[in-house]
Amino acid sequence: MVPPNKLAEIGIEAFQLLEESKGPVPKAKMPQLSTFQQQLSSAHASCYTRETIECYTAAQKNKGSILVLGLALLSCVADGALRHHIGLSDRRSLIDGSGAAVTVFDVTKHGAKADDKTDNAQAFIQTWRAACDSGVPAKVVIPGGTFLTSPVVFQGPCKSKPIVFEVQGNVKATTDLSEYSSEQWILFEIIDGLTLNGGGTFDGQGSAVWKYNDCHENKQCQALPSSIKLSKVNNAFVHEISSVDSKYFHMHVTSCPPPPSNPMSDVGSLGKYKNEEDVSGIVVTNCTLFNTTNGVRIKSYAASDPSQALNITFKDITMDSVKNPIIIDQKYGSRNGAPSRVKISNVHYQNIKGTSTSNVAVSFLCSSLVPCQGVELVDIDLAYIGQKANMPLSASCLNANVKSGGKQNPGCN
């Protein structure tokens, strides 16, 4: 491995070479720049793009010093200059944390426009196909700005593994429901080795269409599209992404094989369809919910087919102005009064704190046919902040076998 002080010297020389060139590097200087690239790549450092100009500033201010942060960017600078010289400006080669080269595919190089009015679906798909079929570790980048798009399918299998989908800006959904023939807006499917990150936002613009959702009254309704769906995706890592204003659910994860030690599934609308599989082994932890209708909820349809939901944990959750912080609803969609046949058991609520806009902060409305078993409340600390003055905080626990521990505010009696 190249010593840090030597890397600093190499990096400064590389910057000087680029400054002297004032454009594409002369052919006579290409071998020297290529040598810089190879030397810097051997450092196995994380790598970013030339746009991160702080590295350049640090190099100018600290010539001859050990530039730990700046060094991580220099390999990209050299590689970007090389690619510019040979006409590969539509993609950039980076170095990831393991030292492997990662080729970047920027959606704007395939026609995407951050003008908040152009439908960028085709540009997104073209960028994805180029990355997916490249056969090298690849990264799709949606840069800063607001990119409008109708429904998009990012489909594998990919020759590239791993593949990163980095959203730096704001991806905004169209609001014409006639464009949504399927149940989601953004679909990733049949992919092995996907990372979704970037610090950006998926904006579903749901508030424009929520009035068309009648699923709470009509069991045969056409559900509004969810924002993001992962289907048949293996080895996925989703982090530092925001989803706001979804038309329906924020995210669906289906047909994705979980690791044996950490099974996962979806909770919600249990018993809606025939022959549903059981739901088990879910852990939700370290979340903050702000100004939502429901906090941590399990719901099942009344008059449902038999199934189970078990071994579910909600832990270290903060409620901020939530209407129903803790809720089990087994009478969802009830019309004829028939009880739900979904058996709910071994559900643990631990360290749930914050504020409720309803005076009933804990509501267990379980089935009279198969009551909830093994429900545990530990360290519940909620406060009422609703509009009705002097209302006592309470819990409603019907057909539920509940065990309590620690602070209970409120708790089931």
CA-CA-CA-CA torsion sign (291, 297, 303, 307): positive
Verify that 387 and 362 share a domain, yes or no. Answer: yes
Distance CA 312, CA 334 (A): 24
Contacts 24+ apart (CB under 8 A), 21-29: 21/81, 24/81, 24/84, 24/85, 25/81, 25/82, 25/85
- Per-residue model confidence (pLDDT) at position 89: 39
Verify that 413 and 268 share a domain, yes or no. Answer: yes
Domain boundary residue, one of 51, 85, 119: 85
How much of the chain is in helix, strand and coil states, percent to nearest 5? 20, 40, 40
Q: Are residues 324 and 363 in contact, defined by beta-carbon separation less than 8 angstroms? A: yes
- Per-residue model confidence (pLDDT) at position 29: 57
**How many secondary structure helices (H) and strands (E) does the chain include?**
5, 21
* Beta carbons within 10 angstroms of residue 26's beta carbon: 12
Q: In what order do the strands lie in the sheet with 324-332?
A: 294-301, 324-332, 360-365, 394-398
Distance CA 338, CA 190 (A): 39
Domain presence at residue 284:
yes
Domain boundary residue, one of 57, 85, 113: 85
Q: How far from the centroid of its chain's Cα atoms is residue 159's Cα?
A: 23
For 230-245, letters b (16+ CB in 10 Å) and e give: bbbbeebebeebebeb
Q: How far from the centroid of its chain's Cα atoms is residue 271's Cα?
A: 27
Tokens of 251: 């995210």
Domain presence at residue 400:
yes
Distance CA 356, CA 319 (A): 7
Verify that 183 and 52 share a domain, yes or no. Answer: no
Tokens of 55: 């590295």
Verify that 407 and 310 share a domain, yes or no. Answer: yes
Verify that 62 and 128 share a domain, yes or no. Answer: no
Verify that 80 and 142 share a domain, yes or no. Answer: no
Q: Are residues 370 and 334 in contact, defined by beta-carbon separation less than 8 angstroms? A: no
Verify that 243 and 300 share a domain, yes or no. Answer: no
Verify that 229 and 107 share a domain, yes or no. Answer: yes
- Average pLDDT per run of 10 along the chain, which is 413 residues long? 50 54 52 54 39 41 38 42 38 54 94 97 98 95 97 96 95 96 95 95 95 77 90 90 91 66 45 74 84 90 83 94 94 76 95 96 94 97 90 94 95 84
Domain presence at residue 91:
no
Domain extent for 72:
4-85
The CATH number linked to 165 is: 2.160.20.10
Verify that 253 and 263 share a domain, yes or no. Answer: no
The helix/strand/coil state of 232 is strand
Tokens of 359: 């005076």
The one-letter code for the residue type at 153 is V
Contacts of 347 (CB under 8 A, 6+ apart): 298, 309, 310, 312, 313, 314, 328, 372, 374, 375, 376
DSSP type of residue 97: T
Domain presence at residue 95:
no
Domain presence at residue 92:
no
Verify that 112 and 236 share a domain, yes or no. Answer: yes
Verify that 193 and 292 share a domain, yes or no. Answer: no
387 exposure class (CB count in 10 Å sphere: 0-12, 13-18, 19+): exposed
Domain boundary residue, one of 198, 232, 257: 257
Domain presence at residue 90:
no
Q: How many domains does the chain have?
A: 3
Residue 404's nearest CA partner among 362, 381, 375 is 375
Domain presence at residue 334:
yes
Distance CA 22, CA 16 (A): 10
Strands 101-106 and 91-95: antiparallel
Verify that 253 and 276 share a domain, yes or no. Answer: no
Domain presence at residue 94:
no
